[in-house]
Amino acid sequence: MIDLDLDELALELAEFAAPEKQAGRPPREARVIAGFEEIQRFYEQHGRAPRHGEDRDIFERLYAVRLDRLRLLPDCRALLEPLDHQGLLAGALTADTPPDEYIDLDALAAELGSATAPDDLTVLRHVRTSADKRAAEAIADRKPCSDFEAFKPLFERVTTEVRTGLRQSQPIVAGSRAIEAGDFFVLDGITLYVAGVGEPLKTTAGEVDRRLRLIFANGTESNLLLRSLQRAFYDDPAARRLVSPESGQLSFGGEFEADDVESGTIYVLRSLSDHPYVAQHRDLIHKLGVTGGRVETRIANAENEATYLLAKVEVVATYRLAGINRTRMENLFHRLFAPARLNIAIADRFGRPVQPEEWFLVPLFVIDEAVARIKDGSITGYIYDPNAAKLVRAKDSSGA
């Protein structure tokens, strides 16, 4: 082994030491430098300068704006060029920023740095807390997903289910259901899918962790640890779990779990109207609705309301709801059966013509099937064919 004295060893180590920051810098300059160092760390992690774009991470977009402004300011360039070993300041502007727009050092420092006094005029509006930084670091190892096309239909389906109310966005709280393969979440405004959960791993603290395969809606993926993802959720107040029927947290009929919250009832009505067309097709014409109260109370005055065809009705089916947005569920049914909407006009009690919107020429057994498919999540692949009077797969509808 080579024998080095203490002085020689100190000299060798000094070559690898980070350059000392100049002592006594004004706070504004220190904040500008700190902001630039964040951009440098981004470059080291991704091998490129930050870019603008709606599909970019919020922090990358912030860094891109910051870098554009630093490139514009002569005093900032003079301050940072000795530290710019990556050539970031020499690059072209990444946004259409007017070259003559001058932002002074004080204004830029207010964006780049942190202030201690809440009423300080240089308070940083986009500064991240240490928790925000941990969350950003936790997802910074994303890379392009080579087989994203296999996952793309899943994201499209989830988008449809959220829009129709079939899948719900719920806050993530401590002690909630464990993270499992097949789960969908929203983190930092991006939908992610848990494609795989690895074998248990022992951490240095003696805890059990697992490596995850996470696919993001923007076409990237990450192998984040489960505990790191949990921390990221807790650090993001807007994080959400996208709950599906398959998870068992949505209910139709049957027994409710103790912690289920009943949202209402889907009801199917048959009209007792003596209108010639209604009487002729009575067994086929049904009204579909959702109520948060008692169905009997809802229809008590049916014969005086045009929405019930100014006639008494009978309840032919009901389905209880739990944890589902009633309005979205009702809209889902109405869109599904829109091709079979009843097209008649009746006169209300003032003699004005009214065309009810919630009556459909749909057999009861098809409504039962639709409810079942909503429950198992397969409804998004089906449409109603009024000619065949049945649900058909969307891709087969042209030949039905």
pLDDT tens for residues 308-333? 888 899 988 888 776 666 777 788 88
Both structure tokens of 53: 């774009």
Mean pLDDT over the full length of the chain: 74
Q: With bands split at pLDDT 50, 70 and 90, how would you rate the model's confidence at 206? A: low
Average pLDDT over every residue of 246-254: 45
Q: What number is the average pLDDT over the span 186-208? A: 82
Q: What is the pLDDT of residue 175?
A: 60
Name the band, by pLDDT with cuts 50, 70 and 90, for residue 373.
confident
Q: Could you tell me if 234 and 225 are in contact, meaning their C-beta atoms sit under 8 angstroms apart?
A: no
Domain boundaries, given as residue ranges, for the chain: 20-127, 141-246, 251-399
Please report the pLDDT score of residue 95 as a whole number. Answer: 47
Q: How far apart are CA 27 and CA 1, in angstroms?
A: 47
User: What confidence tens digit (pLDDT) does each residue in 13-50 have?
Assistant: 544 444 444 456 777 788 888 888 888 888 888 888 88
Q: How far apart are CA 332 and CA 330, in angstroms?
A: 5
Can you tell me the distance from the alpha carbon of 317 to that of 269, in angstroms, rounded to the nearest whole number? 7
Could you tell me if 37 and 44 are in contact, meaning their C-beta atoms sit under 8 angstroms apart?
no
pTM of the full structure? 0.40
